[in-house]
Amino acid sequence: MRHYKKGRKLGTDTSHTKAMKKSLVCALLANDRIKTIDSRAKEIRPDVDKIITWAKRGDLHSRRLAIAALGDKELVREIFEKVAQGMFQDRQGGYTRIMKLGPRKGDDAPMVIMELVTEPVKAKKDEAKPAAKKAVKKAAPKKVEKADDEAKAEETKVEAEEAADQAEEAAAENAEAAEAEAVEKEKAE
């Protein structure tokens, strides 16, 4: 029985599985992209995330843990430098992406491309922020609320004026385009 033994066997004994995972993690971190089997990619994802989290901490202990996990000092140095330059600065996790390719021709194994996610995180609209603003407004004196309301009213007036200016410009462009078409039709006739 496999009690207290988490993870996939990946069709090999324990030592070979550990060596294969270590090799795949090194290859991914060195090349930013690898092509492998789906189960292997899913199995190494936590290891890659752990190493990048250590690199984000950046202290000596984290560096030694990464060297112990990867076994390659130069690769660890490169990873720590990339992270220090701000590669995964905004990202709180999920440093890898798995894209399915389809079955392999020989044995029908599900193939995937696993890559490091390098693009910046898109900011989500926080729903908690409006609630916080409401709580602040309730605690603030009424004079401050009036000043906030006046500032908002001025902002909306400015936005309305800008929108009107844009609409006028668009109408002028449309009128010029219509005149140009009319001139072309007269020339054609």
Compute the mean pLDDT over every residue in the chain, rounded to the nearest whole number.
Answer: 85
- 37's CB contacts (< 8 A; 6+ apart) are 104, 109, 110, 111, 112
102-130 tens-digit pLDDT: 999 999 999 999 999 988 888 777 655 55
Record the pTM: 0.63
pLDDT for the residue 171: 79
Q: Indicate if the alpha-carbon torsion angle 14, 15, 16, 20 is positive or negative.
A: positive
Q: Is the pLDDT of residue 132 over 80?
A: no
pLDDT for the residue 136: 54
Choice between 145 and 13, residue whose per-residue pLDDT is larger: 13
pLDDT for the residue 23: 96
Lowest mean pLDDT among 23-32, 49-58, 137-146: 137-146
* DSSP for residue 149: H
How do 96-103 and 33-37 pair as beta strands?
A: unpaired
Per cent of the chain over pLDDT 90 is 51
Per cent of the chain over pLDDT 70 is 86
Q: Is the pLDDT of residue 140 over 60?
A: no
Domains of the chain with CATH codes? 14-116 (3.90.1030.10), 128-188 (no CATH)
Other beta carbons less than 10 A from residue 65's beta carbon: 16
pLDDT for the residue 128: 57
Q: Is the pLDDT of residue 134 over 60?
A: no
Lowest mean pLDDT among 43-47, 84-88, 166-170: 166-170
Q: Is the pLDDT of residue 12 over 80?
A: yes
pLDDT for the residue 15: 93
